[in-house]
Chains A and B, each alone.
Chain A
Amino acid sequence: MKLNKPEDLTKIKKQGMDLLSPGNTRITVGAATCGNAKGAAKVIEALKYQIKKQKIKADVVKVGCNGMCFAEPIVEVISAGKPRITYGNITTENVVQIVKAVSTGKPAADLALMRCDEEKSAVTSDVIKYTKGKTPKSLEAIKESRKVPFIKNQKKIVSRNAGTVNPESIEEYIALGGYSGLAKALSKMSSKEVIKEVKDSKLRGRGGAGFPAGLKWEACSKAAGDKKYVVCNGSEGDPEIGMHRSFLESDPHSILEGMIIAGYAVGADEGYVYLNDRYLLGIERMTTAIKQAEKIGLLGNNILGSDFSFSLKIKRGGGAYICGEETALLNSLEGACGEPRTRPPFPVESGLFGKPTVVNNIETLANIPVIAIKGGKFLAGIGTPSSKGTKIVALSGNVAQSCWAEVPMGTVIDDVIKIFGNGIANGKKAKAFQTGGPSGGILPAKSLKMKLDYDALNKAGSLLGSGGLLVMDEDTDLVDMAKFFTDFFADESCGKCTTCREGVKRLQEIVGNIADGRGTKEQLNTIKRIGTALSDTSFCALGKTAAVPILSVMKHFPKEISGRMLKKIG
Chain B
Amino acid sequence: MVTLKINNKKIKANEGSTILEVARANGIHIPTLCSNDALESYGACRMCIVEVVQGKRTVIESSCTYLVAEGQEVKTDSPRVIAGRKVVIELLLARCPNVKVIQKLAEEYGVVESSPDFGKENEYCILCGLCVRACNEVVGAGAIQFVGKGAEKVVDSPFHASAEDCIACGSCAFVCPTGIIKKNDLEASAVCSPEGTKEEGPKREILNWQVEYELKKCFKCGNPFAPQPHLDKLSKKLNALPQFFNYCPSCRDYIVIDEDKCLGCASCMENCPVGALELEDKGGYDKIAKVYTQNCMGCHTCERYCPVGAIS
Residues of A within 8 A of B (CB): 320, 322, 337-339, 342-344, 490-499, 501-506, 509-510, 513, 522-523, 526, 529-530, 532-533, 536-539
Contact = CB atoms under 8 A, between A and B. Distances in A.
B65 interface: yes
23 contacts: A322-B149, A494-B149, A494-B150, A495-B146, A495-B148, A495-B149, A495-B153, A498-B47, A498-B126, A499-B46, A506-B117, A506-B118, A509-B118, A529-B83, A532-B83, A532-B84, A532-B87, A533-B83, A537-B49, A537-B85, A537-B87, A538-B46, A539-B44
B261 interface: no
B42 interface: yes
Q: Which of A342, A513, A522, A538 has the most CB atoms of chain B within a 10 A radius of its CB? A: A342
Contacts of B150: 490-495, 501, 504-505
Interface of B: 41-47, 49, 60, 62, 65, 67, 80, 83-85, 87-88, 91-92, 94-95, 115-119, 126-127, 129, 145-146, 148-153
Given A338-B149, A497-B46, 12 more contacts: A337-B145, A343-B65, A344-B67, A495-B127, A501-B150, A504-B151, A509-B118, A522-B117, A533-B87, A536-B84, A537-B49, A537-B88
A504 B87 CA distance: 12
Contacts of B49: 536-537
Nearest to B132: A337
Given A342-B42, A498-B46, A533-B84, A506 B119 contact: yes
A536 B80 contact: yes
Contacts of B87: 499, 503, 529-530, 532-533, 537
Contacts of A503: 87, 91
Contacts of B95: 502
A29 B257 CA distance: 89
Given A495-B127, A536-B80, A509 B91 contact: no
Given A337-B145, A337-B146, A539-B46, A499 B151 contact: no
A388 B165 CA distance: 53
Contacts, number: 114
Nearest to B62: A539
Nearest to B115: A526
Q: Which of A499, A532, A536, A539 has the most CB atoms of chain B within a 10 A radius of its CB? A: A536
Contacts of A522: 116-117
Contacts of A344: 67
A338 B46 CA distance: 19
Contacts of B65: 342-343
A357 to B, nearest CB: 19
A425 to B, nearest CB: 34
B21 to A, nearest CB: 14
A497 B43 contact: yes
B62 A490 contact: no
A484 B43 CA distance: 29
B42 A537 contact: no
Given A337-B145, A506-B119, A509-B119, A501 B153 contact: yes
B117 A537 contact: no
B41 A493 contact: no
Given A502-B95, A503-B87, A509-B118, A493 B46 contact: no
Given A342-B41, A342-B65, A495-B153, A502 B146 contact: no
A320 B149 contact: yes
A320 B115 CA distance: 30
B194 to A, nearest CB: 46
Contacts of B151: 490, 493, 495, 501-502, 504-505
Nearest to B119: A509
B80 to A, nearest CB: 6
Nearest to B18: A342
Q: Which of A505, A513, A532 has the most CB atoms of chain B within a 10 A radius of its CB? A: A505
A532 B60 CA distance: 11
Nearest to B60: A536
B262 to A, nearest CB: 48
A29 to B, nearest CB: 39
Contacts of A505: 119, 150-151
A337 B149 CA distance: 9
Contact of B117 (A320, A496, A498, A523): A523
A109 B42 CA distance: 64
B44 A537 contact: no
Contacts of A490: 150-151
A535 to B, nearest CB: 9
Nearest to A499: B46
Lowest 7 A-B CB distances belong to which pairs?
A: A495-B153, A533-B87, A502-B91, A493-B150, A342-B65, A537-B84, A536-B60
A492 B95 CA distance: 19
A344 B65 CA distance: 8
Contact of A495 (B42, B67, B91, B152): B152
Contacts of A523: 117
Given A493-B149, A498-B92, A537 B46 contact: yes
B127 A501 contact: yes
A533 B127 CA distance: 19
Contacts of A491: 150
Contacts of A506: 91, 94, 115, 117-119
A523 B118 CA distance: 9
Contacts of A526: 115, 117-118
A532 B117 CA distance: 16
A523 B145 CA distance: 36
B168 to A, nearest CB: 24
Contacts of A339: 146
Contacts of B118: 506, 509, 526
A529 B88 CA distance: 11
Q: Which of B43, B95, B119 has the most CB atoms of chain A within a 10 A radius of its CB? A: B43
